[in-house]
Amino acid sequence: MDKFTTLTGVAAPLPMINIDTDMIIPKQFLKTIKRTGLGVNLFDEMRYDDNGEEIADFVLNQPSYRDAKILVAGDNFGCGSSREHAPWAIKDFGISCIIAPSFADIFYNNCFKNGILPIKLPQEQVDKLLDDASRGSNATVTIDLEAQEIKGPDGGTISFEIEAFRKHCLLEGLDDIGLTMKKQDSISSFEEKLTSARPWI
């Protein structure tokens, strides 16, 4: 997993509440177990019409937001089923940070496991960032994880909270496998002792 230290990019506004995981990545795209290739189908039913043509007024289809790295959204983001394909699709599209007043618990946890920083902020601060994001390609925002700060296009700064262990994992690029591998020496030592004590296993 890539380390998350600072992120500077365009923020896309999606001021909808209760965006569920089926909206993020519809069920017909869940056949794969690969983490890549899902970005093209992110928000599929909102991005494309029945003929597969782009819907021009959807935010991520607009020229200013096609390369957005940050998403500013409404309350209860990521509700619905627990599919991990949802953060996979978001990450594959190129978005590494989502800012919202609240997140569904499972989606929130899955974000950290996939190198995405979900930031919870009070509604009034989200509204300010939504207004900033409405500036299109001028809506450049910087996320500084170490300092726990968001710097808006006008130079304003918003602080955010994050649990220390989750912050450490993102800064070091550690998912569950990475955390396990940090214990490689202890695991090897245990296996050697076990083999010596119980050679029949």
* pLDDT one digit per residue (tens) for the chain, 201 residues: 899 999 999 999 999 999 999 999 999 999 888 888 999 999 999 999 999 999 999 999 999 999 999 999 999 999 999 899 999 999 999 999 999 999 999 999 999 999 999 999 999 999 999 999 998 878 899 999 999 999 999 889 999 999 999 999 999 998 766 666 666 767 666 776 767 777 776
CATH number of the domain encompassing residue 33: 3.20.19.10
State the DSSP string of 133-182: HTTGGG-EEEEETTTTEEE-TTS-EEE----HHHHHHHHHT--HHHHHHT
- Please report whether residue 15 resides in a domain: yes
Cβ–Cβ < 8 Å for 4, 171: yes
Q: pLDDT by residue (tens digit) across 79-103?
A: 999 899 999 999 999 999 999 999 9
- Please report whether residue 51 resides in a domain: yes
Give the torsion sign (CA, 50, 56, 58, 59).
Answer: positive
Token pair listed for 41: 């189908």
- Please report whether residue 142 resides in a domain: yes
Cα 117 off chain centre by: 5
- Please report whether residue 194 resides in a domain: no
Query: Which pLDDT value is given to residue 183?
Result: 63
Structural domain containing residue 51: 6-174
- Please report whether residue 155 resides in a domain: yes
For residues 61-76, one letter each, b for 16 or more C-beta atoms within 10 angstroms of the residue's C-beta and e for the rest, the string is beebbeebbbbbbbbb
- Please report whether residue 150 resides in a domain: yes
- Please report whether residue 46 resides in a domain: yes
pTM of the prediction? 0.89
**How many domains does one find in the chain?**
1
Residue 21: other Cβ atoms inside 10 A: 25
Token pair listed for 29: 């795209």
